[in-house]
Amino acid sequence: MSLKFGSLLTLVLAFFVLQSVAAGQTMPAATQWIPGDAVISLELAQPKVLLDLLAGKKASAFVKALPAYQEQASKPQFQQFLAILGYMESELGTDWRRALARLTGGGITLAICPEETVILIVDAEDEQLLKRFGEMLLEMARSEAEKKGQPGRVASTQYRDVTAWTFDGKEAHAIIGKRLVMASRPEGLKAVLELRAETWGDNLASKKDYRAAKRQLSRGGDNAVATVFADLKLLMQAPNIAGLLKQQGENPLAALAFAGIVEAMRDSNWLGLGLAIEDQTLICRASVDGETVARTSPASFALPKEPGEGALPNLIVPRRIAAFTLYRDLHQFYAAKDDLFPERTSGLIFFENMMGIFFSGRDLTNEVLAQTRPEIRFVVAEQQFDPAIGTPIVKLPAFAMILRLRDEEQFDEVFEEAWQKAIGLVNFTRGQQAMPGLIIDRPIHNDTKLTVAYFSTAEIEDKTELAQRFNIRPSLVMPGDYLVLSSTDSLARDIIDALGREIERTVKPLAQTHSLLELEGVQLASILQANRQTLVRGDMVKKGSTQEEAEAGIDLLITLAKLLESLKLSIGMHEGTTEAGLEIKLNL
């Protein structure tokens, strides 16, 4: 009797010891369960931080104030959704925000693998809550399947010590401790479970390129909320992606804008993205492992030549919507046109012929573009219309391009002559069609002479709803060594003032940065609001929407623009590789 009792006591003690050991063990990293052939993986290491931003009090108040939300809230489908949400909260014993935080607090990993396989691994903080959640979903799935007369859709299968379930015969999932594993195909779940049983297998965490990407991203600190890894060699095998990059390289304007970026993507093995959150600002950094474009490559015109060189900061003007600055050597770009665009298109031939006319036969490569410096800037701003001149019914933004010249004194008159020839050609063409032409004026602003062309409104009585052409007052201005081509004289004046401030404080280039884009959401919302009725009518005509539907869609677009306080994207080089940074500041 005592022997049996002692044996039983030993077994009980052994059981508790084993349980204690198991409880003390931690799950391996989710990436050790992801197959090594994953094309793209997303790791959300701090879901609570993102949840606080997107589902916190400010965000919730913002969403509930949206007209679209209020409209949906009155529909029966939305009320049904709220009822289901309430049922889930009751079953889980907590509200949905706390439940979501506890169910995902350990991290979320998503991977896209070959054969259209998607794998999702969610690590919960509360194992018991996860089990209750799984049981609740199982009950709901069984109930739904029985209603449809398909009870066999919900089924389970055993793989070693794990019970896997499917709710529709396609997806498969299992709960293992605090970890929920889901796959779009049963084969995907099987691959995960095999890696779990044999942790030394070919998994994502052991992949050389993955580890290199993680090391690169860690240089920015360990505060990343989320990271993304993409196997570019596998992605480039997709015809759509390969075709898109090929098109970018063959298009002259795309080659000018994206040179160096496309080449870096083509020549890299991986792409890494890291996301951090500071207050209401999302900060994303991207990096690839490919070396920068060779100096002998035709696309090298996009690369700063010296360590201190780079794009100039964007100009700040009143009512600015967007600004875009590039480091691009136009002289070198056009000199390499035969390599960049071996097939001379009709558009390129027409452009060369027109430039020959405008610049009186001067060689476009060595006599004209050779005078431009690599700093190119663009500005887009909302217009303020003078009631005395008139207000167009469609209010387009003003835009301008700013170049720097090497020898402004020698070429000021050359560019002036070319610009006036272009205006003359427009007037000649419009005159042939019995349409009013442009009148040239030469006002002065802050000791700088402008050359302005405009359509007269002198004979128009009602100046409150002018035609769209009155948005344009093409202007040329050359303050100092700058050449400014603007769609309006008012923006040209603002640029003169901005350049004057810049010259006073000696603005330095952004070292090794070759592209910089900035967007102002509030100002974008302002111009959308100014054109609201026009946009609504356009939606009604193009999409066949009712006025209420069109108004709701445009109002949502305006609200989303207000949500974006500012956006800043910079692309450049660091230690021989291409890197990009994106900052999105939300206005909640």
Mean pLDDT of 323-328: 94
Confidence of residue 444 (pLDDT cuts 50, 70, 90): very high
Choose between 17 and 65: higher pLDDT: 65
Tens of pLDDT along 184-204?
Answer: 999 999 999 999 987 566 899
Confidence of residue 553 (pLDDT cuts 50, 70, 90): confident
Least confident of 55-64, 87-96, 98-107, 323-332: 55-64
- At residue 23, the pLDDT reads 36
Cβ count within 10 A of residue 280? 15
- At residue 268, the pLDDT reads 87
| Of 46, 29, 56, 102, nearest in space to 221 by CA | 46
Least confident of 18-32, 85-99, 327-341: 18-32
The two tokens of residue 369 are 């573009």
Residue 282 · residue 275 · CB < 8 Å: yes
Contacts of 560 (CB under 8 A, 6+ apart): none
Number of helices (H), then strands (E), belonging to the chain: the values are 21, 23
- Between strands 513-520 and 320-327, the pairing is antiparallel
Mean pLDDT of 264-283: 88
- At residue 291, the pLDDT reads 65
Evaluate if residue 16 carries a pLDDT over 70.
no
By percentage, how much of the chain surpasses pLDDT 90?
53
Evaluate if residue 82 carries a pLDDT over 90.
no
**pLDDT averaged over every residue in the chain:** 86
Choose between 60 and 132: higher pLDDT: 132
| Distance separating alpha carbons of residues 154 and 53, to the nearest angstrom | 36
Evaluate if residue 1 carries a pLDDT over 60.
no
Tens of pLDDT along 476-491?
Answer: 999 988 999 999 999 9
- At residue 583, the pLDDT reads 94
Residues 20, 21, 27, 33, Cα dihedral to 10°: -130
Tens of pLDDT along 17-38?
Answer: 333 333 334 789 999 999 999 9
- At residue 163, the pLDDT reads 93
- At residue 78, the pLDDT reads 85
| Distance separating alpha carbons of residues 282 and 564, to the nearest angstrom | 11
* Most confidently modeled range among 52-56, 409-413, 442-446: 442-446
Q: Which long-range contacts (CB under 8 A, 24 or more apart) does 443-449 make?
A: 443/489, 445/492, 445/493, 445/496, 446/493, 446/496, 446/497, 446/500, 448/477, 448/478, 448/479, 448/496, 449/477
Confidence of residue 293 (pLDDT cuts 50, 70, 90): low
Q: Which residues of 146-157 are buried (b: 16+ CB within 10 A; e: fewer)?
A: eeeeeeebbeee
- At residue 112, the pLDDT reads 96
Confidence of residue 279 (pLDDT cuts 50, 70, 90): confident
Q: Where are the beta strands (DSSP E) in 528-587?
A: 564-574, 577-586
| Of 286, 283, 287, 305, nearest in space to 295 by CA | 305
- At residue 21, the pLDDT reads 33
Cβ count within 10 A of residue 422? 17
Cβ count within 10 A of residue 387? 8
| Distance separating alpha carbons of residues 268 and 292, to the nearest angstrom | 10
